[in-house]
Amino acid sequence: MKNLSLFALLLCMVPRPASAQDEDSLRVSVRGFVDTYHAMRTEAPNDWMSSRSRVRGEMTLEKGHAGAFVSANLIHNAILKDRTGFQLREAYAYYSDDHWDVRAGRQIITWGVADALRLTDIISPMDYTEFLAQDYDDIRIPVGGLRLRYSREKWCLEAVAIPVCSFFELPTDDKNPWSVGPVPISDEPAHKFYNMEYGGRLSVFLSGIDFSFSALHTWNKQPVMCNGQGEYRRMSMLGADMSVPVGKFVVRGEVAEYLDELQTGGARAASTNALIGLDWYAGNDWTLSAQYSHKYVAWGEHRNTGLSTLRISKDLLHNTLALQTFAYIDVTNGGVFNRLSADYALNDQLHTIVGYDFFHADSGMFAIYKKNSELWVKLKYSF
């Protein structure tokens, strides 16, 4: 009840814009949204796949170069009852000036240039409670840690430390339409200093190209099956990424070497992960984006796997209607998950979105959901 009261207070506060004269006084800003999302399976038994409503509140407090940010959800989930209630999302304090940016607390940390694929971007784990049938930003799970960034005009150095790691949330409840079944998972690593996650990233911004190098000592965030049980093990990541604009195109590339990664069955082996992506801003509000990601494991029979994405979007009616298709394509097994959506802005605050999620697979990562194709509708009001 105390948490709910604090959340209500957060939503009721009125933002006060800061002027040049009171730059050193306390500044408060509040924003958020209310949304409701409902999805129905298009195959028998034509049941509800999802039915949830949410209030999101975000509050920023600033004084001088210091501040704090809090983001929280109040959720009602008609299908997954245990997801109903108050959910603290991000809560961190920060200091930011011309060169330094320090954040301490619960936050989302993103690395790399890939779009909805994970190569170097493996700090914040994923919430697969409803698989990928959510907005990608909602799937990310915040981590509690410290991020230190020092920036100059043409480069930026970042260091992160996460004392207590977070891990994937998997749907194992049989009452969940997205359940992967009862999967026994070992205990997460003990909350000890030597189990902390730490790493760094150097980014360089030059005329015509941006690139970065990264290193991270971490864990496999998704449990790997070993002797009938999901296990977590230490691993290290060395990575690099680049982004190059060429006229109406942007070429993106990313590579990550996972050292001593746990493999199914319990073996440890290095794996090489590489991605190439191309974005085309074709004009007339058309955008096309394609990516291919390849994984090679130096162990076992199935050493090579490939995953592609394709995104096509078009804005119509003076940018009030946004049409989009985004597909994951399992190149190795021939499966596909495609999300089609139409987002109509009734005004700047109110959006209505309808869509269709299509699954097709006989094997591979999408096979378990091959009967989960669904129609969905979403209403969202931002304040």
| Largest CA-CA distance found in the chain, in angstroms, rounded | 67
- Domain ranges, residue 243: 28-382
Is 10:28 a contact under the CB 8 Å cutoff? no
How many structural domains is the chain composed of?
Answer: 1
88-140: pLDDT as tens digits? 999 999 999 999 999 999 999 999 999 999 999 999 999 999 998 888 889 99
Domain assignment present for residue 258? The answer is yes
Is 228:184 a contact under the CB 8 Å cutoff? yes
pLDDT over threshold 50, residue 259: yes
- What tokens does 257 get? 């070497």
Domain assignment present for residue 8? The answer is no
184-213: pLDDT as tens digits? 999 999 999 999 999 999 999 999 999 999
Residue with tokens 């979105």: 353
In this prediction, residue 131 carries a pLDDT of 92
Domain assignment present for residue 2? The answer is no
Domain assignment present for residue 53? The answer is yes
Q: What is the mean pLDDT of residues 140-157?
A: 97
pLDDT over threshold 50, residue 19: no
273-322: pLDDT as tens digits? 999 999 999 999 999 999 999 999 988 777 999 999 999 999 999 999 99
Q: Which residues contact 211 (CB under 8 A, 6 or more apart)?
A: 203, 204, 240, 241, 242, 243
Q: pLDDT-derived band of residue 23, with 50, 70 and 90 as boundaries?
A: low
In this prediction, residue 135 carries a pLDDT of 87
Specify the amino acid at residue 306: G
Domain assignment present for residue 10? The answer is no
Domain assignment present for residue 33? The answer is yes
CA of residue 202 relative to chain centroid, distance: 21
Domain assignment present for residue 65? The answer is yes
CATH number at residue 117: 2.40.160.100
Domain assignment present for residue 136? The answer is yes
